Amino acid sequence: MGQGLIPDQACSLVLRTRLGRGGLVVALCLWPGAHRVDVDAASVLTSRLAAAERPDTLLDPPVLRNVSHSRGTVEVNLTASPVRRALRPGSPTEAYAYNGTVPGPTLEVHEGDRVVVHFRNQLPEPTTIHWHGLHIPAQMDGSPLTPIASGAHFDYVFTIKRGTAGTYWYHPHPDRRSGYQIAKGMFGAIIVRAKDDPLQGIPEKLLILSDNRFAADGSVEFADPNSVAGMRDEVNGREGDVLFVNGQVGPSLPIRSGQLQRWRVVNVAAARFFRLSLTGHTLLHVGSDGGLFERPVEVSQIDVANSERVELLVRGTGDPGERAALRALPYDRYVPQTRPSDWNTPRDLLTLAYTMAPRATTPPVPATLRHVPALDTSIVAATHVLVLSQGLINGQMMDMARVDVHATLGATEIWQIENIVGMDHPFHLHGFQFQVLERNGVPEPFRSWKDVVNVRKHEAVRLVVRYDDFPGLWMYHCHILDHEDHGMMGVLEVHPPPPRKRS
Amino acid sequence: MKRSSASVSRTIAPVVALLVLVAGVARSQTARDTILQGRELVINHACAGCHGGLSPVAEVKWLAGMQAPLQEFYVGPCAVTPGATPCFKTRARNLTPDNATGIGRFTERQIFNALRFGLRPGETPDVTITSHTPGVGNFPANPRYLAPPMPWPEWRYMSDRELWAIAAYLKRGLKPVSNKVPDSEGPPDFWASEYTPEKLGPYPFPRFPAEFEQAPK
């Protein structure tokens, strides 16, 4: 993926697999020479791989092919349809997919691009595409207010705001069915690139983290809502016992000793929280939901709540032939009543496999990445208090016909999100990136653009947001999909400013 | 005519003002009475026996929840045989109106619903509950109940007026105290299989005299 791949690694993502019984070894170079891959060819490739033996090298999802010939326009075709494919290696089943692949193809765009997505819904039910984290008009946001009926077409048209380079994702957001559709396979990444990316040239990997669980026949398993398992899902959110990176189980990611890699990590799991560590390595945390920080932060582990993204620089400090594990460490986000018995067990997600190539010289990491302007908290128009309890915001379930928070276009406001129960709630605001000011009164250590903030058990988070550009109705909700689908959501209306009085 | 009307309003204005004042005093008197009634019920139902760390009303920790792990309850076979399972530790929560650690972020209706129906205020929508049976009316289909030994199955028989008075006292008659009590443990169904309508018995209670009662002669 990515234009950043340097030539001598252009074929580093060679995939070897055996197709069929003949033991035919096929090597495919996954580097087409540009950052646009024909999606149809790529889907054939990945579905063949799924049918064959499990590949153990981490694959990038295909990239959506730009069919536009005009500069600055990215025009793509995206179809949601039922497919028969293996979500868990070796067990084909009925799934839902974007353009036939799971994960869906990656949407790659540049800041300032005009994006046209010709979307066709071939699912047997309504859906939407929510462009998670993008600052685009409300009617293009793919919220539950704008369902696309089964069999219908819709063109999502929007422009990528400058200064928003980063990692995002897209997923269905229909009323009450997001968890179901995403579990069936519908999610894909969005990469917004900047012309002046300070990390340009560093090889990139996309890591889409997900989980799922399956019945014996390989089908996606959902608990009966009236069973104890169903109640547990309703409280915890539905977690799966099989963990995936880019739809693969336990893949390996090659790295050369001394190499620097940029990882874009997206947590698309319905409820699972990933506390990541890379054995024997520290990580440089360089970015979050809305793009890069001002400077890298060295960490030994990193939390990725539901729907959050992190950008990391991984320094290949190991020796040729060594291996390291990207690990999901235990994290207690649960109430005692429904905490899983195995919550305390670390899980391996991926093996970082050092090639035998001799150690390369590690390129320097820039000390400063970009300027992240602070939102002006001296002109705050209002402070909204939102109380998160179990499945509820301010004691209420969402009503799409009700507006819970009113605001004026262009205003800067503070949201105080108070979690009064004993489990974490990752809070997402549609349409507008915000900045976290403090947690339980403690100022955030550094500034970043966020669209999801994990509000930990019994924690109060203050954030500041400015409603730029787009009036309309916007959702905010807990991004544990079961909570969202059960109505732990509210509606923000951004009103156009009143006409100015003539003096 | 006009003038006389104006002079009439001038005459009655002080009277109206006085009436409004009296009504206002009467109204605030009612609120005060409600809170005092709630206070009396909280004292004579021994709420602080669990929720105040046994401290008397004069103490700062009055109703501020469990103070030490020694005050945890063990629910399940381990209550009889140490080490037996399942074993749930439950804790009396902070009932003062502190926003972060108490009940400050719950409405009086949510507290009423906790006392009448046993529904955990953090897990139950802030609505008027219209039945006593899960899934009927707007009683949650998967109700999440307060942990034992909170005796709401008996106290729910208090009158509406009494329960609202307790809620009013807790929310408006107490000063907030910060005391974070760890969440109670419990089964994943939040005690729903223990608090079925069958096990709870009828509400309201049967007419007097019931099977084992006798009417005075």
| Cβ pairs bridging A and B (under 8 Å) | 64
pLDDT at B22 over 70: no
Q: How close A459 gets to chain B, by Cα (Å)? A: 8
| Three-state secondary-structure class, residue A242 | strand
What average pLDDT does range A387-408 have in this prediction?
96
> What CA–CA distances, in Å, run from A205 to A13, A89, A412?
10, 22, 36
Q: Which of A167, A193, A219 is the last residue of a domain?
A: A193
Please provide the DSSP assignment of B84-106 as one string: -SS-EEE-PPP-S--TTTSSTTS
Measure the CA angle with vertex B98, ends B92 and B103; round to 5°: 55
Residues in chain A: 503
Q: How confident is the model over B162-192, as pLDDT tens digits?
A: 999 999 999 999 999 999 999 999 999 999 9
* Within-domain flag for A391: yes
Q: How confident is the model over A224-279, as pLDDT tens digits?
A: 988 989 999 999 999 999 999 999 999 999 999 999 999 999 999 999 999 999 99
What single DSSP character describes residue A393?
B
Q: How close B126 gets to chain A, by Cα (Å)? A: 5
- All residues of chain A having their beta carbon less than 8 Å from the beta carbon of residue B91 are none
Interface test with chain A among B142, B171, B195, by most A beta carbons within 10 Å? B142
pLDDT at A281 over 90: yes
Beta-carbon contacts of A125 under 8 Å, excluding residues fewer than 6 positions away, are A150, A174, A177, A181
pTM score, whole prediction: 0.87
pLDDT at residue A432, rounded to an integer: 98
* Within-domain flag for A503: no
Residue A204: name the closest of A221, A191, A220, A185 by CA: A191
Quote the percentage of chain A above a pLDDT of 90: 86
Interface contact B187-A336, CB threshold 8 A? no
Handedness of CA B5, B11, B17, B18 (dihedral sign): negative
- The answer to whether residues A87 and A43 belong to one domain is yes
pLDDT at residue B51, rounded to an integer: 93
Buried b (16+ CB within 10 A) or exposed e, B49-81: ebbbbebeeeeebbbbbbeeeeebbebbeeeee
Question: Residue type at A420?
Answer: I
The whole-angstrom distance between residue A348's C-alpha and the CA centroid of its chain comes to 20
> What CA–CA distances, in Å, run from B83 to B74, B75, B91, B193?
11, 12, 19, 23
Residue A470 near residue A137, CB atoms below 8 Å: yes
Q: Which of A322, A354, A386 is the last residue of a domain?
A: A354
| Three-state secondary-structure class, residue A480 | coil
How many independent structural domains does chain A possess?
3
> Can you tell me the distance from the alpha carbon of A198 to that of A201, in angstroms, rounded to the nearest whole number?
9
Interface contact A226-B141, CB threshold 8 A? yes
What average pLDDT does range A426-435 have in this prediction?
98
Q: How confident is the model over A288-331, as pLDDT tens digits?
A: 999 999 999 999 999 999 999 999 999 999 999 999 999 999 99
Tokens 């009889």 correspond to what residue?
B80
Interface contact A231-B120, CB threshold 8 A? no
Q: How close A473 gets to chain B, by Cα (Å)? A: 23
Token pair belonging to A366: 């820039």
| Three-state secondary-structure class, residue A344 | coil
| Conformational region of residue A151, where left means phi above 0, alpha means psi within -120 to 50, and beta covers everything else | left
* Within-domain flag for A2: no
- The answer to whether residues A184 and A40 belong to one domain is yes
pLDDT at residue B67, rounded to an integer: 85
Query: Nearest 5°: phi and psi at B30?
Result: -65, -45
What average pLDDT does range A190-197 have in this prediction?
97
Query: Which candidate from A338, A387, A397 shows the least CB-CB separation from B105?
Result: A387
Q: Which of A162, A193, A224 is the last residue of a domain?
A: A193
pLDDT at residue A132, rounded to an integer: 98
pLDDT at A220 over 60: yes
- The answer to whether residues A210 and A232 belong to one domain is yes
* pLDDT band, residue A47 (cuts 50/70/90): very low
- All residues of chain A having their beta carbon less than 8 Å from the beta carbon of residue B185 are 336-337
Which has the minimum average pLDDT: A191-205, B9-23, B80-94?
A: B9-23
Interface test with chain B among A226, A343, A389, by most B beta carbons within 10 Å? A389
* Within-domain flag for A199: no
> Can you tell me the distance from the alpha carbon of A298 to that of A316, in angstroms, rounded to the nearest whole number?
15
Secondary element (H or E) of residue A491: strand A489-495
Beta-carbon contacts of A74 under 8 Å, excluding residues fewer than 6 positions away, are A66, A68, A107, A108, A109, A113, A114, A115, A116
pLDDT at residue B61, rounded to an integer: 83
> Can you tell me the distance from the alpha carbon of A347 to that of A245, in angstroms, rounded to the nearest whole number?
12
Interface contact B188-A421, CB threshold 8 A? no
Q: Domain with A272 in it: what CATH number? A: 2.60.40.420
The whole-angstrom distance between residue A278's C-alpha and the CA centroid of its chain comes to 20
Domain of residue A50 covers 7-193
Interface test with chain B among A335, A393, A442, A482, by most B beta carbons within 10 Å? A335
- The answer to whether residues A186 and A269 belong to one domain is no
Token pair belonging to A175: 């009323």
- The answer to whether residues A84 and A217 belong to one domain is no
* Within-domain flag for A367: no
> Can you tell me the distance from the alpha carbon of B77 to that of B70, in angstroms, rounded to the nearest whole number?
18
> Can you tell me the distance from the alpha carbon of A170 to that of A130, in angstroms, rounded to the nearest whole number?
5
- Any B CB within 8 A of A395 CB: yes
pLDDT at A42 over 90: no
- The answer to whether residues A271 and A211 belong to one domain is yes
Other Cβ atoms closer than 10 A to A328 = 21
Interface test with chain A among B99, B105, B108, by most A beta carbons within 10 Å? B105
* pLDDT band, residue A61 (cuts 50/70/90): very high
> Can you tell me the distance from the alpha carbon of B46 to that of B40, in angstroms, rounded to the nearest whole number?
10
Chain A: residue whose CA lies nearest to B147: A337
Q: How close B189 gets to chain A, by Cα (Å)? A: 6
Q: How close A420 gets to chain B, by Cα (Å)? A: 6
pLDDT at residue B91, rounded to an integer: 96
Quote the percentage of chain A above a pLDDT of 70: 89
- The answer to whether residues A302 and A334 belong to one domain is yes
> What CA–CA distances, in Å, run from A281 to A88, A284, A301, A355, B22?
29, 10, 9, 17, 75
Tokens 């300070």 correspond to what residue?
A198
- The answer to whether residues A186 and A208 belong to one domain is no
Which has the minimum average pLDDT: A366-380, B4-18, B81-95?
A: B4-18
pLDDT at residue B217, rounded to an integer: 86
Angle between helices B2-44 and B160-172 (to 10 degrees): 90
- Any B CB within 8 A of A336 CB: yes
- Any B CB within 8 A of A397 CB: yes
* pLDDT band, residue A58 (cuts 50/70/90): very high
Chain B: residue whose CA lies nearest to A391: B123
The whole-angstrom distance between residue A335's C-alpha and the CA centroid of its chain comes to 25
Query: Which candidate from A226, A335, A458 shows the least CB-CB separation from B180?
Result: A458
- All residues of chain A having their beta carbon less than 8 Å from the beta carbon of residue B184 are 336
pLDDT at A27 over 60: no
* Within-domain flag for A167: yes
Chain B: residue whose CA lies nearest to A458: B100
> Can you tell me the distance from the alpha carbon of A433 to that of A131, in angstroms, rounded to the nearest whole number?
13
The whole-angstrom distance between residue B156's C-alpha and the CA centroid of its chain comes to 9
Q: From the CA atom positions of chain A, what is the Rg in Å?
A: 22
Query: What is the bridge-based pairing of β-strands A260-267 and A291-299?
Result: unpaired
> Can you tell me the distance from the alpha carbon of B119 to that of A222, in angstroms, rounded to the nearest whole number?
27
- All residues of chain A having their beta carbon less than 8 Å from the beta carbon of residue B186 are 336-337
pLDDT at residue B10, rounded to an integer: 54
Token pair belonging to A82: 């039922």
Other Cβ atoms closer than 10 A to A176 = 12
> What CA–CA distances, in Å, run from B203 to B133, B153, B156, B199?
10, 10, 9, 12
pLDDT at residue A362, rounded to an integer: 93
Beta-carbon contacts of B27 under 8 Å, excluding residues fewer than 6 positions away, are none
Query: What is the bridge-based pairing of β-strands A380-388 and A242-245?
Result: unpaired
* Within-domain flag for A364: no
- Any B CB within 8 A of A391 CB: yes
> What CA–CA distances, in Å, run from A119 to A79, A123, A132, A181?
6, 12, 16, 16
Residue A410: name the closest of A446, A381, A435 by CA: A381
Those residues of chain B whose CB sits closer than 8 Å to some CB in chain A are 99-101, 105-107, 110, 120-126, 141-142, 144, 180, 182-190, 192
Which has the minimum average pLDDT: A73-77, B52-56, B101-105?
A: B52-56
Residue A266 near residue A302, CB atoms below 8 Å: no
Tokens 């509406």 correspond to what residue?
B160
Q: How confident is the model over A346-368, as pLDDT tens digits?
A: 999 999 999 999 999 999 999 99
Average pLDDT of the residues of chain B? 87
Average pLDDT of the residues of chain A? 90
The whole-angstrom distance between residue A139's C-alpha and the CA centroid of its chain comes to 21
pLDDT at B114 over 90: yes
Query: Which candidate from A232, A234, A420 shows the least CB-CB separation from B105?
Result: A420
Q: How confident is the model over A447-475, as pLDDT tens digits?
A: 999 999 999 999 999 999 999 999 999 99
pLDDT at residue A2, rounded to an integer: 37
Please provide the DSSP assignment of A179-212 as one string: HHHHHTT--EEEEEE-TT-TTTTS-EEEEEEEEE
pLDDT at B97 over 80: yes
pLDDT greater at residue B113 or residue B142: B113
> Can you tell me the distance from the alpha carbon of A146 to that of A127, in angstroms, rounded to the nearest whole number?
9
pLDDT at A29 over 70: no
* Within-domain flag for A198: no
Other Cβ atoms closer than 10 A to A374 = 10
Query: Nearest 5°: phi and psi at B26?
Result: -60, -40
Residues in chain B: 217
Question: Residue type at A337?
Answer: Q
pLDDT at residue B27, rounded to an integer: 54
Query: Which candidate from A231, A335, A395 shows the least CB-CB separation from B142?
Result: A231
